[in-house]
Amino acid sequence: MKNTKNTTLSSIKYSVLDLVPIVEGITAKEAIARSLDLAQHAEQFGYHRFWISEHHNMESLASASPVILINYVAQGTERIRVGSGGVMLPNHAPLVVAEQFGTLATIHPNRIDLGLGRAPGTDQRTAMALRRYQQETVQDFPNNINELQMYLSEENSTEAVRATPGEGLDIPLYLLGSSTFSAQLAGKKGLPYAFASHFATNHLHNALQIYREEFTPSDVLQAPYCMAGVNVIIAETDEKANELFTTLIRMFLGILTGEREGLKPPTPMTSELRGVLQHPSVQQMLKYSFVGSKESVKMKTKAFLEETKVDELIAVSAMYDAEDRKKSVTAFAEVMQEINKENKTLEKQN
């Protein structure tokens, strides 16, 4: 499958990034079952892809093994693309990744995405345990991507080390980032680029600009393709959505303080929590959080799309109640469908 840039605003895709949250009171097994249920729900409402993140040593997230979860979700769905958002490549040998995703693409043809990141997805001590104390250099990530691409290529068929299955399969690669490093690399390699603006907001605009300026057409992509993550919490009213938002606020506060317990149930938005939101670190991390009624979120989404000109939005909805999360996913699909329809009408008029 060749990736092509959306040439019109009306074709903006919308997708889901799932962290597989373990909320207070449920097991990891139940969290994984909820992930599949969410993917099945998203598939019904036109979501383009369902990505699963890689995190380690976190009691609140059950996403330590994306490759297994991807297979589980793909088996339980029919059409939606399923992939990694992403595999943290420094934690894995490129050959193993090529073999694993080659196996996935063999089982689920034309449905598997391979998103790649360079962060560890965990704390420093756990990263050292994952990498067996290997020291990463600035060239390791680009070199690992080159090696991975080599194993997936048909040209590797004459080499001594080969990925079977994997070799010659059409597995789209996406580079993920929260800084300008991966943006520049994705541009030079002619690969799609996804920015983690659902938690790392500082470099969004610089990264998108650098990616577009550095972009070189490749065999898989002729024009830049930008994706951005946003937190989305939609409820019947702004007040109810802000109440659901308190779970995410506490989650980010836990990240800053080192607390790793399961996600807490929502509470009324107290003055204390509003104060937490004003903390510079929390405020910056949650800058691109679209919280409110469907109408409120639609306004915020339209402003973000106009501001960034991204080709695809990846929604993250870290919420306590599974039904609240599904309702939010449904409402965001309606928001995106309305925006795309309005843009299509405007384009016809112009």
Task: Give pTM, 2 decimals.
Answer: 0.93
SS3 176: strand
Angle at 200 between CA 198 and CA 201, to 5 degrees: 90
Distance in angstroms (rounded) separating the CA atoms of residues 180 and 188: 12
- Smallest CA-to-CA distance from 18 within 45, 2, 42 is with 42
Structure-block tokens of residue 288: 């691109």
SS3 81: strand
In this prediction, residue 135 carries a pLDDT of 66
In this prediction, residue 6 carries a pLDDT of 40
pLDDT of 182-218, one tens digit each?
A: 999 999 999 999 999 999 999 999 999 999 999 999 9
- Which portions of the chain are predicted below pLDDT 50? 1-8
- Smallest CA-to-CA distance from 34 within 16, 56, 18 is with 18
Distance in angstroms (rounded) separating the CA atoms of residues 239 and 260: 27
In this prediction, residue 122 carries a pLDDT of 74
Beta strands in the chain, from DSSP E residues, in sequence order: 13-18, 49-52, 81-88, 112-117, 173-177, 193-195, 226-234, 289-292, 312-316
Residue 87, class by beta-carbon neighbours within 10 Å (0-12 exposed, 13-18 middle, 19+ buried)?
buried
- Smallest CA-to-CA distance from 114 within 161, 146, 91, 82 is with 82
pLDDT of 14-62, one tens digit each?
A: 999 999 999 999 999 999 999 999 999 999 999 999 999 999 988 889 9
In this prediction, residue 1 carries a pLDDT of 37
